[in-house]
Amino acid sequence: MIREQHRTIVGFDLGREYSQITFYNRRKDEPVTVSTGAGNEKYLIPTCLFQLKGESEWYFGADALKLEEERADGYFLNDLVRLMELQQPVELEKESISITNLIGIFIKECLGLLSGTGTLDQMAIAVTMEEMREPFISILKKALIEIGISKNNIFFQDHMESFYYFMINQKKTLWTYHVGLFEYEKDTIVVYDFYTDYQTKPAMVHIEKKGFLTLDERLRRRVGEGRWGEEKARRFQEMIENLFKNTPYSSIYLVGDEFLEEWAQPCVKFLCSKRRHGFAGKNLYTKGACYGALQRTGEKKTDGFLYDSPEMVHFNIGMNMLMRGKENYYPIITAGANWYEAYHECDFILDNTNEVTLLIKEMRTGEISQETIFIDPIKNRPDRTVRIRMTVSFLDQHTCQVRLSDLGFGGLYRSSGKVWEKRIDLKKGECV
């Protein structure tokens, strides 16, 4: 891989209420989160847009919130992620604008905060969200390409994968044993357990949800206002003690301003006792996204570890191909990629055959299977004049989509227009 040393590396955390942006500072050799105010740590950018009626300019973030409060003659959009889920355009006074365009506008405005770091066509970006799924991926990819970022420099990962990239780039002493991640959002505390299995090569890193605690308004009314803080602390402490009962932890990360409240302080103090390191993770995910982009672009390598993502493809896919007169193995998909990023396209010429055979190897067991796709004979086409384009993509972690199309053969034979498609259930080793 050729490294583009002057490329801007960005991690972008797109949230329902707030977003954050981080870039790789080469002088400091670390990701730096962009503050929206000079000399402070205001990392949160409200995920919203505002446009005055009769004007074309869009305002974003805090400016959009301010205008929404001050002006009644405009369009205020504060549910961009929800609009992505609905995949519906927004109807303005005289026009309809797609959610793809709106997301592109918002991200481009946020990237404008990176003054002096390079142009969009020189940028590599990893976008992280709480969960990464369709239609988010398709909309985000299209939006980023439309604003000028190369499709080869666009990456996606969910919050847990961002946590993984963040942790493996910290001092090893912080993750020698288990790592606890506590998220406090919308009246719920969720705890995750980060640990490494060194019995495999590469070592597999696992992140598992260990439990959750609901501290909502209904419970508050039942307990009573006078005992509410005490009750929250009691329940949180109980959750912590159960977590630590039989498991050693090297460090603890807390995400959520609620952990700063007075009722939580004794619990936080306990979390950070017994040589456990404790940290507040205000910008943890956006930094992790930046580290992920650094890994994918080859600027930084963390060899020997692999995150066992729920979205990870566990299969190597390839085929034997005659290259320069010798039969060689041609890799198509490499295990370890997330299914929504696993993609390959190649062209080849059929040589006295109407079959395309894929070799599939399970990453953990080493078990090898074959899947054959049959191509209908094309009339009046001599041997070695059938040029095929093959695209391989994924519909989910275990379902591979293979598409073969006849390209014709230069100026001698036009394409027949024929297309052959197969879905392969990799888990079962079956074509569907």
CATH assignment at residue 20: 3.30.420.40
Domain assignment present for residue 330? The answer is yes
Q: What are the contacts of 410-416 at 24+ separation with CB within 8 A? A: 412/385, 413/381, 413/385, 416/378, 416/381
183 and 96 inside one domain? no
Quote the pLDDT of residue 197: 95
* 260 and 329 both lie in a single domain: no
Q: For residues 177 and 257, state if they share a domain.
A: yes
153 & 168 share domain: no
Residue 192 neighbours by CB under 8 Å, 6+ apart: 160, 163, 180, 181, 183, 207, 208, 209, 210
- Note the pLDDT of residue 117: 66
Q: Residue 119 falls within a domain, yes or no?
A: yes
Q: Determine if the pTM surpasses 0.85.
A: yes
Does residue 419 sit within a domain? yes
What is the rounded distance in angstroms from the CA atom of residue 240 to the CA atom of residue 254?
Answer: 12
Residue at a domain's end among 262, 283, 304: 283
CATH number, domain with residue 228: 3.30.420.60
Q: How far apart are CA 204 and CA 77, in angstroms?
A: 41
Instruction: Identify whether residues 142 and 236 lie together within a single domain.
Output: no
- 151 plus 195 within the same structural domain: no
176 and 154 in a common domain: no
Asked whether residue 146 falls in the same domain as residue 179, the answer is: no
For the chain, what is the mean pLDDT?
A: 91
Cβ atoms of 139 and 176 closer than 8 Å = no
Share of the chain above pLDDT 70, in %: 96
Query: 89 with 135, same domain?
Result: yes
Could you read off the pLDDT of 305-361 as tens digits, one per residue? Answer: 999 999 999 999 999 988 877 889 999 999 999 999 999 999 999 988 889 999 999
The residue type of 196 is: T
Neighbouring C-alpha atoms within 13 Å toward the C-beta of 366: 2
What is the pLDDT at residue 1?
A: 40
**Domains: count for the chain:** 3
Can you give the pLDDT at residue 86?
94
pLDDT digits (tens, 9 = 90+) for 113-147: 997 667 898 899 999 999 999 999 999 999 999 99
Q: Are residues 255 and 275 in the same domain?
A: yes
Q: What parts of the chain have a pLDDT lower than 50?
A: 1-4, 431-432
Both tokens of residue 375?
Answer: 């191509």
Among residues 239, 260, 283, the one where a domain terminates is 283
Domain edge (last residue) among 283, 302, 329 = 283
Q: Any long-range contacts for 326-331 (C-beta under 8 Å, 24+ apart)?
A: 329/359
**Domain contains 67:** yes
Closest CA to 161 of 345, 284, 4: 284
Q: Which domain holds residue 391?
A: 315-431
For residues 99 and 139, state if they share a domain.
yes
* Separation of alpha carbons 150 and 296, rounded Å: 14
Other beta carbons within 10 Å of 421: 11
Q: Is residue 306 part of a domain?
A: no
* 278 located within any domain: yes
Residue 361 lies in a domain: yes
What span, in angstroms and rounded, lies between the C-alpha atoms of 86 and 367?
Answer: 41
Quote the DSSP letter at residue 177.
S
Domain-embedded: residue 304: no
Residue 48 shares a structural domain with residue 178: no
Helix, coil or strand: residue 40? coil
> Quick count: other Cβ atoms within 10 Å of Cβ 198?
10
- CATH, residue 391: 2.60.34
